[in-house]
Structure 1
Amino acid sequence: MTKKFRNKYRIPSDRMPNWDYGSDAAYFITICTQDRKWFFGNINDQKMVLNASGQVAHDVWMQIPQQFPYVALGNFVVMPNHVHGILVIDKMGYSSSAVETRLIASLPPPSAPSVPSTTSPKSPGGITGNKNPMFHDNISRIIRWYKGRCTFEIKKNVAAFGWQSRFHDHVIRNDLSYQKIAQYIVDNPKNWKEDKFYS
C-alpha cells in the first residue's frame, strides 16, 4: 500500500545526495494529480484518450522548451491521473535553438553521482557566468512552471483540479537506463491496470 504524507499520496524520492538538479542530465519525471483522481481522460483499447484537461497537460508540456530553451523533451505520456516524461537539461551546449538530444555521453556513471566538476573548460552560464539566470534554473523550477500553467488553464473548466504537492524525479545515468525508461513511457497505456499509479 502506498504510504501517505499528510494524508496525501506520496511517491518515494529517488533523489541522489549531493546532486545538483539544475545540472546537465536527463531526468525521468512523474507528476500525479491530487488524490490520483482521473482528471485527464481514460484508457480505451490500451490507448490513452485525452479529455480537454488531458490535452492541456499535453500541450503545456510541449511548451517547456519555449519557456526553458536549454531543455529538450524525451518521451512523454499523459495518463488518467499522472504524467510521465523525460526532460533533458543541456545548459553547457545551450544556444538560441532548441537543444538536440546528444544527451547521455556527459552523464555521470552510476558509481559517481557527484556534482559535476566546476573545472570544466567551458564557462558555466556562458559569457555571463554565474550571473546568468539560466544557470540557476533546475528541475523543480521547470515542474513548478508546468504545474502552475496547467492548473491555471484547467481550472477555467474544472474547478476541482489539482496536482499532488510533490513530484518524482530520477536522474538517468546511462543509455541502457534511458532506453528502458523511454520504452516504459511508450508502453504505459497498454500496461495501465498493472501500473502502480492505477487507482
Structure 2
Amino acid sequence: MQIKRQAEGKHRGSPLHHVVQWLKTTTTNSYIKGVKTLGWKPFDKKIWHRNYYEHIIRNERAYQNIARYIQENPIKWRTDKFYRQ
C-alpha cells in the first residue's frame, strides 16, 4: 500500500471561508436560542460583519504591529463614531 504525501505548502482541511461561515452560523444560532430561551437582549440587524479580513504575518515587525493593535484597539472603542452604549 502506497501512502500519498501532501505536497509541501499545500493547504489541508476546510478553506478558511468555510470555517468562518460555520463559526458565524453557529454563534448566531446559539445567540438566537439564548434570546428565545434565556432572555438575552435581542440584537439589531446583524451580529457579524458581512466579510472578514485576513492578513498573512510575514515577519516579526508585522507581528508586533498586529499584536499592538489587538491589545490597544479595545481602549479606543468608546471614542469610535459607531460606538453605542
Taking structure 2 as the reference length, the TM-score comes to 0.60
Q: Which residue in the other structure is 1:147 paired with?
A: 24
Q: Which entry has the higher C-alpha Rg, 1 or 2?
A: 2
User: Paired residues, what number?
Assistant: 67
Specify every segment of 5 or more residues in structure 2 that has no aligned partner in the other structure, as ranges. 36-41
Of residues 58, 66, 69, the one that matches 1:184 is 69
Q: Compared with structure 1, are the counterparts of its residues 164 and 191 closer, same or farther at alpha carbon in structure 2 (3 Å cutoff)?
A: closer
- Counterpart Cα distance in 2 of 1:149 and 1:136: 19
Q: CA deviation at 1:138?
A: 2.2
- Equivalent residue number for residue 171 of structure 1: 56
Question: Where has structure 1 moved over 3 Å in runs of 4 or more?
Answer: 159-162
- The superposition leaves residues 96-148 of structure 1 with CA deviations (integer Å, 9 ceiling, x where unpaired) of xxxxxxxxxxxxxxxxxxxxxxxxxxx327xxxx8xxx814222122112111
Which structure 1 segments of 5+ residues have no match? 1-122
Match of 2:56, SS? Answer: strand
Q: Distance in 1 between matches of 2:43 and 2:62?
A: 38
RMSD of aligned alpha carbons: 2.6
Q: Comparing both chains, which one has the higher relative contact order based on Cα–Cα distances under 8 Å and sequence gaps of 6 or more?
A: 1
* Partner SS state of residue 168, structure 1: coil
TM-score (ref. length: structure 1): 0.29
CA distance in 2, matches of 1:142, 1:182: 23
Identity %: 27
Question: In 2, Cα distance between the equivalents of 1:141 and 1:175?
Answer: 29
